[in-house]
Structure 1
Amino acid sequence: MAEHEYKTNNRTKIMEFLKSNKDRTVSVSDIEDHLAGEQNPVNKTTIYRYLDKLEADGNVIKYAAEKGDKATYQYVEREHKCDEHLHLKCTRCGMIIHLDCEFMDEISEHVAKDHGFRIQCKNSIIYGLCERCQKLQKD
């Protein structure tokens, strides 16, 4: 197999994993473990490089690492315009919800008017529990 085909196959496998997990964030280790489990091990550096390219192209959001954690990534469709809205992340299951509704205009306006602060939405997350995990917690 030619080196170009190998790189393309790796990128295809990485993209397939990202798309199949687009409702949550994943780490480089998650990708690496998945690919190794499919008998398709990929070098961690290759994964980081491809994620950097996808982020630059607007296909992936990189979320800053929480204290003691590594950065995580999420595949997004370009029409989500993630620079314009916040994200909600479930601390239990890891699901990401794009808060791309009229509420964003209200909160941005309030924060600017009452607090003199302009919100930077890109890569911004509000943490909590999703509806499903709240129900599981009550049971």
Structure 2
Amino acid sequence: MALHPDGFCGKMGETKERGRPMPVKRYQTKSRRALGDFFAAHPHTCFTARDIIREPSLELSEPSVYRLLAAMAEEGILERIAAQDGEGAAYRYLGDHHHGEGHFHLKCERCGQTVCADCDFMGEMEEHFAKEHGFALSAGNTVLYGTCQKCREKAKTE
């Protein structure tokens, strides 16, 4: 369930009342709200914890950044994607965008924009890699790097 961080999180907790799970209330601290607003303002861009720590518009401590990113990813507000260098992870705002297995991410190496590729032939690609190469892809964690159309057009004019 992806909600804007200002809203009540409907994630169900372990506590039960009359046999029903009770929602876990998430406190909306100033830091959490600021981080959520920052991600919502950049919905197609991935940020690492280091990017957030260095962001001048956010005055968040390093421990707070790591704690908030982990919590917001667990709650489905942010998506955790393996970083390009293989070290750590990058995070992207999900908003109301939910997706399951079988999609890839396309990330621009110039501007950092990340989009989901929910193309019909992606399943065929997965089958090909499994059958011909004996390799099972983790499609939800697969990031293909390249250059977006906007950056390609910008490069033509430079």
Q: TM-score, normalised by structure 2?
A: 0.71
Match of 1:52 among 55, 60, 70: 70
Q: 1:11 aligns with which of 32, 52, 57?
A: 32
Which residue pairs with 1:130 in the alignment? 148
Shift of 1:83: 3.8
Match of 1:100? Answer: 118
Tell me by how many angstroms 1:24 deviates.
Answer: 1.0
Aligned equivalent of 2:47: 26
**Could you say what the CA RMSD is over the residues aligned between the two structures, in angstroms?**
2.4
Q: Which structure features the higher share of helix residues?
A: 1
The structural deviation recorded for 1:101 is 1.9
Separation in structure 2 between the aligned mates of residue 58 and residue 84 of structure 1, nearest angstrom: 18
Distance in 2 (CA, whole Å) between partners of 1:138 and 1:29 is 31
Q: Is the 8 A contact 2:102 2:123 kept in 1?
A: no
Name structure 1 gaps, 5 residues minimum. 1-5
Tell whether the 8 Å contact from 1:61 to 1:123 is kept in structure 2 after alignment. no
Q: Is the 8 A contact 2:40 2:95 kept in 1?
A: no
Deviations along 1:87-127, whole A, 9 cap, x unmatched? 01000010101011212112112222222221102332110
- Residues paired across the two proteins, number: 131
Q: Indicate if the aligned counterparts of 1:58 and 1:78 stay in contact, CA closer than 8 A.
A: no
Where structure 2 has 5 or more consecutive residues not aligned to the other structure, the ranges are 1-26
Contact kept in structure 1, 2:47 and 2:90, CA below 8 Å: yes
Is 1:82–1:121's contact at 8 Å kept on the other side of the alignment?
no
1:3 is matched with: none
**Letter aligned with residue 53 of structure 1:** A
Measure, in 1, the Cα distance between the counterparts of 2:140 and 2:147.
21
d(CA) in 2 for partners of 1:133 and 1:69? 25
CA distance in 1, matches of 2:150, 2:124: 26
Deviates more, 1:104-113 or 1:12-21: 104-113
Larger Rg, first or second structure (1 or 2): 2
Structure 2 Cα separation of the partners of residues 13 and 104 of structure 1: 36
CA distance in 1, matches of 2:86, 2:123: 33
C-alpha contact (below 8 Å) 2:44/2:113 kept by paired residues: yes
